[in-house]
């Protein structure tokens, strides 16, 4: 079977998946390997994007799930879903850089939205994106998310989130109704 058209399988990540998920997230956002895809943050942030402790906390949190997305038994993507009352939070989204641009992200976010709606009855999906990531925000807008203008500061000085290469970073809240 052609791996480019093999079906995606979704499962809840376990602590055995932590190292693979950290490697996937780092490859999608940081360093030279991330430049193979379009989601790289290498020009605005250096250092790590996440760490094993942060991923494990998501895996073990009671109102959260980390979806491991596989194709032919190989981890190709992941995303976090967290139940927050009437809405769900979508985060920790990564697609292998070599597979970006082929529609995987669109399929995965649609599945995440379906699960949040059906599992928790969520009526909205929320996410935060670094506000200078115009290309990424535009991609989410094409999927029905809207910018709210509501921002939160980037955690400057906390290297668990990376080493900023500019001084104007902040997170912007994007929201999509799940009706």
Q: Which two tokens stand for residue 94?
A: 């990564």
The greatest distance separating any two alpha carbons of the chain, rounded to the nearest whole angstrom, comes to: 48
Distance CA 25, CA 138 (A): 21
Question: Per-residue pLDDT tens for 28-87?
Answer: 887 677 676 667 676 787 776 788 899 999 999 999 999 999 999 999 999 999 999 999
Please determine, for residue 89, whether its predicted confidence score (pLDDT) is greater than 50.
yes
Question: Per-residue pLDDT tens for 131-177?
Answer: 999 999 999 999 999 999 999 999 888 887 778 888 899 999 999 99
| pLDDT given at position 46 | 78
Distance CA 175, CA 149 (A): 11
Q: Where are the domains of the chain?
A: 8-177
| pLDDT given at position 159 | 80
Q: How confident is the model at residue 1 (pLDDT cuts 50, 70, 90)?
A: very low
| pLDDT given at position 4 | 59
CA distances in angstroms from 66 to 12, 13, 86, 103, 175, listed in the order given: 6, 5, 19, 20, 20
CATH architecture observed for domain 8-177 = 3-Layer(aba) Sandwich (3.40)
Q: Which residue has the higher pLDDT, 15 or 5?
A: 15
| pLDDT given at position 82 | 97
The two beta strands, 124-130 and 170-177, are antiparallel
Please determine, for residue 94, whether its predicted confidence score (pLDDT) is greater than 90.
yes
Task: Compute the mean pLDDT over every residue in the chain, rounded to the nearest whole number.
Answer: 90
Q: How confident is the model at residue 2 (pLDDT cuts 50, 70, 90)?
A: very low
| pLDDT given at position 165 | 84
Asked if residues 88 and 110 have their Cβ atoms less than 8 Å apart, the reply is no
- For residue 141, what are the contacts with CB-CB under 8 A and spacing of at least 6? 147, 174
């Amino acid at each position: 079977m052609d791996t480019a058209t093999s079906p995606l399988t979704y499962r809840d990540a376990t602590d055995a998946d932590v190292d693979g998920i950290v490697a996937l997230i780092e490859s999608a956002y940081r360093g030279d390997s991330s430049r193979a895809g379009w989601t790289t943050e290498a020009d605005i942030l250096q250092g790590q994007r996440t760490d094993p402790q942060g991923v494990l906390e998501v895996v073990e949190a009671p109102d959260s799930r980390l979806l491991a997305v596989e194709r032919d038994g190989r981890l190709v993507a992941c995303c976090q879903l967290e139940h927050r009352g009437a809405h769900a939070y979508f985060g920790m989204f990564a697609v292998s850089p070599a597979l970006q641009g082929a529609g995987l992200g669109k399929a995965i976010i649609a599945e995440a939205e379906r699960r949040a709606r059906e599992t928790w009855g969520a009526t909205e999906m929320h996410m935060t994106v670094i506000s200078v990531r115009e290309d990424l925000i535009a991609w989410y807008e094409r999927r029905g998310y809207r910018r709210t203008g509501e921002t939160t500061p980037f955690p400057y000085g906390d290297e668990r989130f990376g080493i900023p290469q500019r001084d104007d970073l902040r997170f912007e809240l994007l929201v999509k109704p799940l009706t």
